[in-house]
Structure 1
């Protein structure tokens, strides 16, 4: 049984559809990457799953955990899941940390809320969490304020708070985007290490395919509120099948070869409510044919557990992705001990 199973999840704001039936399973202990340009629906998927969207949002479908559907669930049920079963960290820690409360107190509050620990025991646990995420001189820094930490350290603080409830699943929403390459590598290594030590599953939301390749066994590509490709990380990097996924790879700068001109994907993600007929990517696709502009391609799979929503997927002979990694050598995260590649 999957840890979390999302089925036919749809979201609309004031009648404008932004998610068009998302299906995704997260198995215990696995790491799944969710990639795509801004506006594709990556973050909205999990905000909807956790009941964190504004009241004007209309949500349908199901998000199952422990045989309970979180869509439409009472607030008390959602609060029992947030933090203790599913925790979420966001791209900008400065907007999530209270600037006038010492970080130790903020972590102690999370420990008390999710695990019922208070007083000296809560402070001891807060210290353990700071040490776990690699904050130097943790005992002294418990009494510091967020502005006394660097950007990378603030992100580590957010990870510590997310771990306070000992969740089964951590949603990491663009946790490294605002960090330089060295600090980004450290945060990725930290997430991989914590996953190995705790058995926690991770959903890693990112624009950065290189970062995703470091900690995820499985990758799901989203475009205009739909899943358009699902695959193991290894297979996706060896041969992206959807033209959009191929375009994402073509736009990645490389450091292991000669200088080459990057190939951008022309155009932008269409606005919700203004999607073209047929495949939403067809106006930007150099492989589009007539039916792509009239019919919606379904997400279909094969015996290799690869799923793609395209009438003309990229074939092996068309793929020229180099075998060398597309990420800087500074990323040295070891492969997780538990590797599951079960596709929904």
Structure 2
């Protein structure tokens, strides 16, 4: 597989406490990759570390390569060229990412100036084109409005427009639909899929929403406690998840079709990074755990079906949605 971004043995620690434990991750040109898991699993930290956006107290090691260009320990001036230019990131809360006291047109034009050297009328024309591309109605009239004069969904579209200003090769969408209602979520997902088809840029979609990942991604990595525990093509992994944690995520999804059934929650919580279990981090919450799981940590290894899996006692191959106890009517 041709690699746009190659991450190897990425590790992060805050105040001496490890939170990422050797992440290996590749993104191919034009690919749509999903990154899923509970809050605190390390999804966002992975890409913030890769782009050098973590605070100074963070200790980061490992290798990050962008098309033969090493970003690890690169000088700030070089990273600033990459951020927004080659790799752009949109965040889940546009109201905090957009500057509330600067008109939106000026903010988009600033991104165009920094990454493409445009200014004046050419920058304004391109900003209007980007606003129209992401579905902002009447962009010329709204060019001089402030962020608070737009709805939440429109602010997220404006964040996407700013991310596209540098014509990036990779767009990282970090929970871009979390604060939006279902209708607007669907619109944003459709927009991201359309932009990827039209521009050819790769996309990393970070989300808790497995349905959204299924809609926009081709491949998915499941993270737990700072490690990738399962990875593979979306269709394959969604049809028959093998890691007990992945299966648990599917079992906890409410069903809209068929009879009413009880959800099967994953007992417990993600472990505190300061007190990780000696073996598999998921063992205390796993019904399939054996003595080995509590003493040895399984490695992420290729399987015969092509997926990657870190589990000594995986779930037998079966449909992702098991029969569940019927809810009394």
CA distance in 2, matches of 1:170, 1:98: 21
Alignment match, 1:159: 160
Gaps of 5+ in 1: 324-344
CA distance in 1, matches of 2:154, 2:298: 44
Gaps of 5+ in 2: 323-329
Root-mean-square deviation (CA), in Å? 0.9
Alignment match, 2:327: none
Whether 2:199 is the aligned partner of 1:194: answer no
Runs of 4+ in 1 over 4 A off after TM superposition: none
Alignment match, 1:129: 130
Alignment match, 2:115: 114
Alignment match, 2:76: 75
Whether 2:176 is the aligned partner of 1:175: answer yes
Alignment match, 1:27: 28
CA distance in 2, matches of 1:211, 1:101: 32
Q: TM-score, normalised by structure 2?
A: 0.96
Whether 2:74 is the aligned partner of 1:101: answer no
CA distance in 2, matches of 1:257, 1:104: 48
1:2-50 residue CA offsets vs partner (Å, 9 max, x unmatched): 0000000000111110000000000000000000000000000000000
Q: Which moved more, 1:67-76 or 1:111-120?
A: 67-76
Measured after TM superposition, the shift of residue 303 of structure 1 is 3.8
Measured after TM superposition, the shift of residue 284 of structure 1 is 0.2
Measured after TM superposition, the shift of residue 302 of structure 1 is 2.4
Q: How does 1:6-21 map to 2 (within 5 A)?
A: 6-21=7-22
Alignment match, 1:148: 149
Alignment match, 1:212: 213
Alignment match, 1:331: none
Measured after TM superposition, the shift of residue 322 of structure 1 is 4.1
Alignment match, 1:234: 235
Alignment size in residue pairs: 321
CA distance in 2, matches of 1:321, 1:44: 28
Q: TM-score, normalised by structure 1?
A: 0.92
Measured after TM superposition, the shift of residue 214 of structure 1 is 0.3
CA distance in 2, matches of 1:127, 1:168: 21
CA distance in 2, matches of 1:25, 1:170: 14
CA distance in 1, matches of 2:295, 2:242: 21
Alignment match, 2:186: 185
SS of 1:237's equivalent in the other structure is helix
